[in-house]
Amino acid sequence: EPRACGTGDPRGTGACHEPAPSLVDVAESSLLNKLIHTSLVESRHHVEILQKDPNSPLFSVKTFEELPLKKELLQGVYAMGFNRPSTIQETALPMMLAHPPQNLIAQSQSGTGKTAAFVLAMLSRVNGAEKYPQCLCLAPTYELALQIGHVIEKMGQFCADIRVTYAVQGNRVLPGALREEQIVIGTPGTMLDWCFKRRVVNMKRISLFVLDEADVMIDHQGFSYQSIRIQRALPRGCQMLLFSTTFKETVWNFAMKIVSNPIIIKLRQEELTLSNIRQYYFVCRNREEKYEALCNIYGSITIGQAMIFCQTRGSADWLLVKMSKDGHQVAMLTAELTIVQRANVIQRFRDGKEKVLITTNVCARGIDVAQVTIVVNFSLPVNQEKQLDFETYLHCIGQTGCFGKKGIAFNMVERQTTYLMHSIEEHFQTQIKRLDPDDMDELE
């Protein structure tokens, strides 16, 4: 029972040969990550600075007070419950708020504080007393634009005069009726329309341009072109900030087209490794036997929380019923759920309200669900050619054993697919021990 390869390659390693994921898929997982990262993702790494103008000194800050922020903004920061800048903010904020303005390209994983940083820059740069757009911000979808808007509202709650408007499909404007809001957030197509066709924004007066989720943007051919057209019409000296969660070659090329003379900062991601994850496999004849093996695992070790990956909605449903009947508190994550529903399921699981999370492959798409005690591959992630998707395997079982913790992963395979276990061993230079469902002493 092979599990289909998801979007395959959330970390940009090129290991999966599935068709490129659609904008919707990528934007969805991005939004989902935003919804589930309700607090900061800490990093053990330092910020790397890749390129900088030797004439501009760099400094980083440890407190928000050290930054040139208006009183109302500092109040907003504290109202959000922020005590000190995150790792990326320590370096990015002084650059973003510097005089003269500096251009910046910043890359770090979701949840590390990029949005909060550029929202602070936007609120800090615009003048609330002036009633015209001064800052443009591009995002790949309406939902993502709205997320940014929410952060602006919250962080800017004490900046009474600053207003936001959304250049998104369906938000109609009268041609020539100039907008009065200081910040315009929108998707590239509608933003282009507002700026060039409807002429409700005077581009010449824009002093800050922010492009968020550059890696999602470039998955949509039209978006890169439209973003570049907007950028070209901005006045000299307009500050440009570009953000991305990944840094593939293509993102890099795009970023360099959009942002001139940038400082580039990067925060390395916690590396997924298998070294602290014990891996086992069972050879089973059918899903009943797989289920027996699962019960034996529960009978032998104490399990805090478990994540179980299935190939199809059908087998996920089947397992859900089985486990619920056996008294487990089980939640399920499937593609049919809306983003908000999915975020809720993940949040509940993270809060420990359910001890088991069953998921179909939607979940493996670049989303960090939680740190769990065990991961079970009820079926292995393979692509249509029945080849193993190593990246997804790594990502799935990486949900256990994060941040140096010890994790355990179990794989259920049919006899004829046992060879897949060996290919994983070879690929990752690791060992996966076969377990006998009737003799779990090995697990001790």
- Among 38, 63, 127, 341, indicate the residue that binds ligand ADP (CB under 6 A): 38
Q: Does 111 bind ligand ADP (CB under 6 A)?
A: yes
Q: Residues 133, 202: contact at Cβ < 8 Å?
A: yes
State in angstroms the smallest separation of the CB of 316 from ligand ADP. Answer: 28
State in angstroms the smallest separation of the CB of 43 from ligand ADP. Answer: 11
State in angstroms the smallest separation of the CB of 365 from ligand ADP. Answer: 16
Residue type for position 407: G
Q: Does 140 bind ligand ADP (CB under 6 A)?
A: no
Q: Residues 270, 178: contact at Cβ < 8 Å?
A: no
Stretch that binds ligand ADP, among 32-40, 272-280, 331-339, 428-436 (CB under 6 A): 32-40
- Among 9, 23, 95, 114, indicate the residue that binds ligand ADP (CB under 6 A): 114
Residues 431 and 434: their CA atoms lie apart, in Å, by 10
DSSP state letters, 110-179: TTSSHHHHHHHHHHHHS-TTS-S--EEEE-SSHHHHHHHHHHHHHHTTT-TT--EEEE-TT----TT---
State in angstroms the smallest separation of the CB of 412 from ligand ADP. Answer: 34
State in angstroms the smallest separation of the CB of 256 from ligand ADP. Answer: 21
Q: Does 37 bind ligand ADP (CB under 6 A)?
A: yes
Site for ligand ADP in 51-80 (CB under 6 A): 80
State in angstroms the smallest separation of the CB of 216 from ligand ADP. Answer: 12
Q: Residues 307, 375: contact at Cβ < 8 Å?
A: yes
User: What values do phi and psi take at 374, rounded to 5?
Assistant: -130, 150
Strands 263-267 and 407-414: unpaired
Residue number, 116 or 168, with CB nearest to ligand ADP: 116
Q: How many residues at the interface with ligand ADP, by CB under 6 A?
A: 18
Site for ligand ADP in 77-106 (CB under 6 A): 80, 82, 85-86, 89
Site for ligand ADP in 116-135 (CB under 6 A): 116
Site for ligand ADP in 314-333 (CB under 6 A): none
Residues 383 and 82: their CA atoms lie apart, in Å, by 43
Instruction: Give 309's strand partners.
Output: 359, 377
Residue number, 67 or 332, with CB nearest to ligand ADP: 67
State in angstroms the smallest separation of the CB of 264 from ligand ADP. Answer: 16
Site for ligand ADP, rule CB under 6 A: 34, 37-40, 80, 82, 85-86, 89, 108, 110-116
